[in-house]
């Protein structure tokens, strides 16, 4: 059985963003001190907690998001490392369909989590890896499950809107990782077509 159709469509129509998003995330492979790891987690927390808050406010049914929010795991890791979580960013999610696209983007990170977790554990010998261990050794299965959920959602809402939300999320994430002192993330929509 092939991958879920909506997962394939999202991957194809957001592919221009994938390499940069992966490169931004994989900067964690260069982390070699606890201070650098704290800084990485603080940056991720500030963005992903804001995205999760915006997704929750968009009114997506919990069956689509259940078990997928990970900001509390980052918060716990930061506390274990003796650090307070930072203020969260502000993101604007325009609809429930856009919110599903944003969820796709933050869930996509889980595909790299195992690689980063092994590096952090080997290099820093810390157990504060709850966020990176969220799906243990099954991120692919969980990501495929998201694809199934996206397919169900796309039967009720425009797939184009979900894709538009994902592209907005990738642009916001890139802005976040390139800003030396991030605050509010404001992304101007480029592809707002709501039709198939």
- pLDDT tens digits for 151-161? 999 999 999 99
Number of separate domains in the chain:
1
Residue 161 lies in a domain: yes
Determine the Cα–Cα distance for residues 180 and 164; give it in Å rounded to an integer. 26
The CATH number of the domain where 73 resides is what? 1.20.910.10
Local confidence band at 181 (pLDDT 50, 70, 90 cut-offs):
very low
Q: Nearest-5° angle of CA 32, CA 39, CA 169?
A: 115
pLDDT at 180: 55
Residue 128 lies in a domain: yes
Report the percent of the chain where pLDDT is more than 90: 81
Local confidence band at 194 (pLDDT 50, 70, 90 cut-offs):
very low
- Asked whether 134 and 147 are in contact (CB, 8 A), the reply is no
Q: Nearest-5° angle of CA 172, CA 173, CA 178?
A: 100
Residue 186 lies in a domain: no
Tokens of 117: 């977790």
Residue 117 lies in a domain: yes
| Helical packing angle, 110-124 and 96-108, nearest 10° | 40
pLDDT at 105: 97
User: Which residue segment(s) compose the domain that 75 sits in?
Assistant: 5-178
Q: Nearest-5° angle of CA 133, CA 138, CA 144?
A: 125
pLDDT at 190: 39
pLDDT at 33 over 60: yes
What is the reported pTM?
0.90
What pLDDT digit, counting tens, does each position of 133-149 carry?
A: 999 989 999 999 999 99
Residue 78 lies in a domain: yes
pLDDT at 89: 83
Residue 192 lies in a domain: no
């Amino acid at each position: 059985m092939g991958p879920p159709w909506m997962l394939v469509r999202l991957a194809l129509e957001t592919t221009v963003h994938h390499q940069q998003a992966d490169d931004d995330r994989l900067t964690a492979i260069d982390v070699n001190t606890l201070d650098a790891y704290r800084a990485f987690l603080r940056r991720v927390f500030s963005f992903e907690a804001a995205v999760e808050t915006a997704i929750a406010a968009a009114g997506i049914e919990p069956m689509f998001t259940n078990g997928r929010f990970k900001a509390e795991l980052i918060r716990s890791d930061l506390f274990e490392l003796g650090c307070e979580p930072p203020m969260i960013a502000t993101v604007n999610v325009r609809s429930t369909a856009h919110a599903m696209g944003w969820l796709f983007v933050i869930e996509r990170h889980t595909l790299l989590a195992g690689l980063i977790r092994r590096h952090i554990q080997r290099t820093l010998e810390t157990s504060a890896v709850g966020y990176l261990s969220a799906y243990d050794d099954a991120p692919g299965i969980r990501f495929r499950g998201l694809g199934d959920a996206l397919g169900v959602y796309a039967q009720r809402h425009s797939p184009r809107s979900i894709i538009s939300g994902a592209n907005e999320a990738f642009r916001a994430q890139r802005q976040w990782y390139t800003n030396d002192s991030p605050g509010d993330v404001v992304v101007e929509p480029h592809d707002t077509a709501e039709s198939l």
